[in-house]
Chain A
Amino acid sequence: MSKDLELKIRMNNIFWALGCYTRVDVKLAEHTFKEKSPLELTDIDILGIRILPDFAINFLLADCTSNRNIIRSPIQRVFWLRGVMEFFNASHSYLCLGSNNPIQETQRVVAQKLGVTILNEDNLANLEKRIINSDAPQLQLNKFEPWLYFEHNLTVLSKDLSRLISFRKYNYWLNPKYQNLHAIISIVKKHNRFVNEKDKLHKALIFDLLTLFVLSLLQMSAYVFNINPENPEMELKSYFYGGYIEMKKRREIVDNIKKIINSQNQKLLFDDILKLDPDYLTNLFEIGFRFLNKPYDASQVLRYLQVFLFEKILYNEQNQQGMEYLESFPEITKKLTRDIIKFFCNATSLTEKLFI
């Protein structure tokens, strides 16, 4: 294993021990005028997402490198990392260096001011001792091979699924948060015929998209939790459309289209299509509201799904410790996950067998 890979998995495990849901090699990209797919600009090695029971959503980042220039003077990289933090709205990040060279105190202080902790290998080892519980179960997601296996195999899936892969890699991270709810449902629905319920990697891909969908759902619940959970329907709707003004604008556009259609005496033909709210919207709000009412249990769903993906889907329940850990999640977390799977399958016309 290369040095960078080793550092990545160690930071992944620290974030996991801190209560985060984690992702490896998250791409930062932007749309271009010419290309269909977004253009990759840079990436972040480890992204940790921690949901607190008050729906505060913390993003933690880790950049792991053995690059000599960076090791020599890490402060340049700190400034780059600060920019990436802004992009993800991250609260803290770690610059993890594959060396034991001493780090100048001034650089450490400036980095700290920017919300970045610089770690050399000694610092990293000590951080592990402080944070990781030595009795914690050994999970597949704590090792690098399963990550490599997962990420690598997704890249060789059939071309029919390439839009889904591209979405999880780029679009999800550059879209406005509220758009991802419909975007995921819509893209999965469009490609559902290519998904083979018996193919483990197809399952893993869909499961990963479902997990991203849950993150968006948690972001929606967090929005309502902080604005007015007592009037959830209105707030959920406003979030779904990107705010009241956006919702109003979209309603007006639909009304105008209706007027045009009606003037052509085609009302009956298009009446059932010309509605702003998708059919699944009420059921989506049901789940969003259940999240709001059980914040602690909801906050655990992402981690539950991550363990489920690695232990059950990718490694077929081989790891006893992993399976015991999966079983130890709160009953309500498991039930909320079942609700989401049911909803997701209904909304995307996928079979629930994919998630068994």
Chain B
Amino acid sequence: MKKINIETLKIGIRAQDIQTGLQDVQVGPLDVETKNIRLVGMAERLAIHIRGADVISDCKKLEYIASQLGIEPLALPQVLNVLEELDLVTVHKKEKKIVQVDERVPYFSDIYSLAGDYFKNSKPSEIEEATIEICDLLSTTPITEQTVKQKIGLRDKELKMVLDIGKSGKIINEYTSKKTKETIFYSPLYWIENSDTIENMYKLLKEFGADEVYNALKKIKDYQGLPLTDDLLKGNYETLQKDMKIINEAIRRGIILAPAVDSFKGRRNFAFIPSVGIAIEEKFILEKAMALLACVRYGEHFGLITKIKYPEAILDKLLSPPHRIGSHTEIRRQYAILIGRGIGKIYPDRTNHGKYYFELFPTEENLKAIKLAKSMLKIGEVLEDKGLFRNLQRMLFYPGTYEESLRTLPKLKAPAFISSETQESIQDVLNNTMDILRGA
């Protein structure tokens, strides 16, 4: 097999995905083949849950949290050892017993690159490397069995082991075409298990070849919100290059989404791969994140007067009070699509005629959408708070003993949930009312 050749950030992310999937699964003899991945994945998950604790002196609490993440008490010292090597914790011991853990998991840089690097240096087995690499391939696109073999260079026996691991953890699944009986692999973590989408994907792979499809989709994943050319959208199919033809087809079949933004330089579409690793019940957040990022990309590529130089800075401004950008002449049209989605409002600058502000409604889901948009800018998928169980984390921050915090857990239920549709309709009514009150 070829040596693993993906960036350490992605290795770290995939290790966490795999460990999360395998957490409650008995893989028997395959345990041995996944020990490094699992160890790194465990370390990552524990790290994001203890971040901010500073000092953990109730080691029972730590053991409990670890056990909820699939880390047995016997494995905990080993996981802490990894975190210590990554310089994310210091473990204080008295007579070989852990008495305190100092935590310093970073807030402003990712832990995945560190963990990925650690994995690379941990002498992983071929099976482990292949599992990581296949999971990474499948996070971009479903792929044929043949291409997997070619790309990874695995023998049948080893490939079977990787698939067994992947299927056990529900991170890899396979789809067999009813017509041709050919098999493609996909990741349910990244691709919604919708037989139409998978069938469409299968047809695309057959038509253009798996390598080409992978490369075309990777182009978008590496630059979520890729501006699409007029040729591509106006259907001048024959003049398109092959990757653009694939993107065109993928849009037509609903595999790639391409929201449009209409402003001074006309209507433009921006391509997104929706497989970002977000839970299905949170897909509406993804829709909002795509809309936000499309507006920012418009300013970046088609701004009439000033082009956006630092797209992340725009998202940062929206993230913090007063959650406002502007004033600017182009805002009124460029950010118009966000109003209908309940993301924010546009209003004129009273002192500069013709200029407008956009202000975000700072609801929990809108703020989540901004954070997701930032992650998509950075690596094309979810990064911030990936795999974090807040209720579990809160236990560590609850002052008191382990038993007391266990009793508190039921009180930490999530608040009532209002869907985006309901929120949008309430906001419409309120906006309308405000307009009437202002004399519109």
Contacting pair A282 B54 (CB below 8 A): no
Given contacts A228-B320, A234-B316, A234-B320, contact A332 B54 (CB under 8 A): yes
Residue ranges of A at the interface with B (Cβ–Cβ < 8 Å):
228, 230-235, 282-283, 285-286, 289-290, 293-294, 297, 331-332, 335-336, 338-339, 342
Contact of B108 with A230 in the complex, beta carbons under 8 Å: no
Tell me whether A228 and B321 are in contact in the complex, defined as CB-CB below 8 angstroms, given that A290-B54, A335-B55 are known contacts: yes
B52 within 8 A of A: yes
Determine how close the nearest CB of chain A comes to the CB of B89; give it in whole angstroms: 11
Q: Are A231 and B55 in contact (CB under 8 A)?
A: no
Per the bound structure, the CA–CA distance linking A231 and B317 in Å amounts to: 9
Which residue in chain A gives the minimum CB-CB distance to B102? A335
Cβ–Cβ contact B108 & A286, under 8 A: yes
A332, B55: Cβ atoms closer than 8 Å: yes
Query: Which residue from A231, A331, A332 sits with its C-beta under 8 Å from B320?
Result: A231
Asked whether B107 is an interface residue with its Cβ less than 8 Å from the other chain, the reply is: yes
B316:A294 contact, CB within 8 angstroms: no
- Chain A contacts for B107, CB-based, 8 A: 232, 285-286, 289
Q: Which of B100, B108, B316 contacts A331 (CB 8 A)?
A: B100
Given contacts A233-B316, A282-B109, A289-B108, contact A338 B321 (CB under 8 A): no
Interface contact A282-B108, CB-CB below 8 Å: yes
Asked if A231 contacts B108 (CB within 8 A), the reply is no
Name the residue in A332, A335, A338 with the highest tally of chain B Cβ atoms < 10 Å from its Cβ: A335
Could you say which residues of chain A place their CB within 8 Å of the CB of B106? 282-283, 286
Q: Which chain A residue has the least Cβ–Cβ distance from B53?
A: A332
Does B90 touch A at the CB level, under 8 Å?
Answer: yes
Tell me the smallest distance from the CB of A315 to a CB of chain B, in Å.
26
B320 x A293 contact (CB < 8 A): no
Q: Please pick, from A228, A233, A235, A335, the residue contacting B108 in the complex, using a CB distance under 8 A.
A: A233
Looking at the complex, which one of B54, B102, B319, B320 makes contact with A294 (CB distance below 8 Å)? B54
Which A residue sits closest to B100, measured CB to CB?
Answer: A331
* Smallest beta-carbon distance B315→chain A, Å: 11
> Which residues on A sit within 8 Å (CB–CB) of B313?
234
A107 nearest CB across to chain B (Å): 47
Answer whether A230 and B102 are a contact pair too, CB < 8 Å, given A286-B108, A336-B54.
no
Contact A285 B108 (CB under 8 A): yes
B345 within 8 A of A: no
Bound CA–CA A233/B319 (angstroms): 11
Instruction: Give the CA-CA distance A342 to B103 in the complex, in Å.
Output: 13
Check B432 for interface membership: any CB of A closer than 8 A.
no
Given the contacts A234-B316, A286-B107, A331 and B321 also touching, CB distance less than 8 Å: no
Report the bound CA distance from A352 to B114 in whole Å. Answer: 23
B residues near A335, Cβ cutoff 8 Å? 54-55, 102
- B107 CB to closest chain A CB (Å) equals 5
Further pairs besides A282-B109, A331-B55: 15, Cβ < 8 Å: A228-B320, A230-B320, A231-B321, A235-B320, A282-B106, A282-B108, A289-B108, A293-B52, A331-B57, A332-B54, A332-B55, A335-B54, A336-B54, A338-B90, A342-B104
Query: What are 11 sample pairs from A and B whose C-beta atoms fall under 8 A apart?
Result: A230-B319, A230-B320, A231-B319, A234-B313, A234-B316, A235-B320, A282-B108, A285-B107, A335-B54, A335-B102, A342-B104
Among residues of B, the one whose C-beta sits closest to the C-beta of A289 is B107
CA distance A157 to B253 in the complex (A): 76
Shortest C-beta distance, A282 to chain B (Å), equals: 5
Which residues of chain A have C-beta atoms less than 8 A from B90's C-beta?
338
- Nearest-neighbour CB distance to chain B for A52, whole angstroms, equals 20
| A-B complex: 8 closest residue pairs judged by Cβ atoms | A231-B320, A331-B55, A335-B55, A335-B102, A332-B54, A228-B320, A282-B108, A234-B316
